[in-house]
Amino acid sequence: MDIEKEIIHIQQRNQRVELEKAWETSTTRYVSIVVITYLFAVLVMYALDIARPLINAVIPTLGYFLSVQSLPLIKRWWLTKQK
């Protein structure tokens, strides 16, 4: 009986881990962070009285987006160097 409970517990944990991994690479996550980054940058730029904050906020947002897109490539390169 205990072994069955252990197996069920392990299966549930594995399912949770798989969902969390899927979230980490999901488009929804990337888009959400990009939108939040943009809105936060706009607010900061308005507070600092920076000219054209709606346009200038694109720069840090684009920087985040490009860094996230390049991470899988860097990760693959790093993993090959570790072998």
- Whole-angstrom Cα distance, residue 13 to residue 60? 37
- Separation of first and last alpha carbons in the chain: 42
| One-letter amino acid for residue 81 of the chain | K
> Would the pTM count as exceeding 0.75?
no
Rounded distance between C-alpha atoms, residue 17 and residue 76, angstroms:
21
The pLDDT tens digits of the residues spanning 5-14 come to 999 999 999 9
Q: Where are the domains of the chain?
A: 2-82
Host H or E run for residue 25: none
Residues with Cβ within 8 Å of 46's Cβ and at least 6 positions away in sequence, in order, are 53
| pLDDT tens, residue by residue, 32-72 | 999 999 999 999 999 999 999 999 999 999 998 888 888 88
